[in-house]
Amino acid sequence: MQRLILHGVDFSGADGGGAAKIRIAERELAPRSPVHVRGRLDRNGLRRAIVESQSDGREHLWRIDAPFGLPLECFAAELPQGFAEGEVTWRSVAEWMAGFDSARSWRGAMREMSRREPKRACDREFKTPLAPMNLRVFKQTFTVITEILLPLAEEGIAIDPVLMPANGYARVRVAEGCPASILHRRGWPTKGYKGGGEPPRVLREEIIRLLRKDGLEIPSQSAVEAIHDEEGDLLDAMILVTEPLGVAIPAELVATAAVEAWVY
């Protein structure tokens, strides 16, 4: 029986399409299945890889480390131009974002509406580090929504939970993941493993050890590469191929998650 292929994507919102900075780890969701590391990609390459995964007859879950939506709270007091009351859906928000010529101009418009940076329901549930509009993450939010998710939606790719088929089944699905949330839920170190020098390197080595103990089969060469990657990108991608968090969306938050997205 063929099993689900899980892809962990450490995303980049950097200028130049991510400049081949995106790291992807993947494995079959089964015991003793080794982790495979892809070569570096930019955002166009990532989008193509997701679309192409439709053609092999397997089931795929792409777990991407970037915010998939915006907090509903941002639209409670003032709707952007062009919105009507009751029209705040994930797609309407995403298409509104796509009308801006850059991540920075979009963030400027958000800050004109409010200078607050509220977190989403899923951010609070999973203790994600930053709100989607935060200065450190807003480029990731903007580019994943406008350059990855909207084009994938046009290709018929399911985006869980904001755009799913009526029957809930899709061979290829894309979902938001968060390495920090996974580490937190397992009680593992959540900070200090990124950067140069001995303490961060030792922490990366410890997290690799914990991932292996948790059941990930990480080849030696990939483990060494992740330990010596000072930015922690490859390690984050590997963390994202652990089993999904398995926390169902509470009934009272289903409608909210359909706009704001959810972490898996």
> Is residue 60 situated within a structural domain?
yes
Q: Left if phi > 0, otherwise alpha if psi is -120 to 50, otherwise beta: which for 187? A: left
Asked if the structure places residue 91 within a domain, the reply is: yes
What is the pLDDT, as a whole number, of residue 89?
Answer: 92
Beta bridge partners of 5: 28, 60
- Domain annotation covers residue 197: no
Residue 202 placed within a domain: no
State residue 52's pLDDT score.
Answer: 97
Q: Note the pLDDT of residue 1.
A: 46
What is the rounded CA–CA span in Å between residue 116 and residue 52? Answer: 39
Under 8 Å CB-to-CB from 238, ≥6 apart: which residues? 8, 25, 35, 208, 211, 216, 218, 222, 226
Q: Is residue 239 part of a domain?
A: no
Would residue 213 count as lying in a domain? Answer: no
For the stretch 45-78, pLDDT in tens is 999 999 999 999 999 999 999 999 999 998 887 7
Q: Is the pLDDT of residue 91 over 70?
A: yes
Instruction: Decide if 185 is inside a domain.
Output: no
Look at residue 86 in the predicted model and tell me its pLDDT.
61
Residue 262: which domain range?
1-178+245-264
Total number of domains constituting the chain: 1
Q: Do the domain assignments include residue 186? A: no
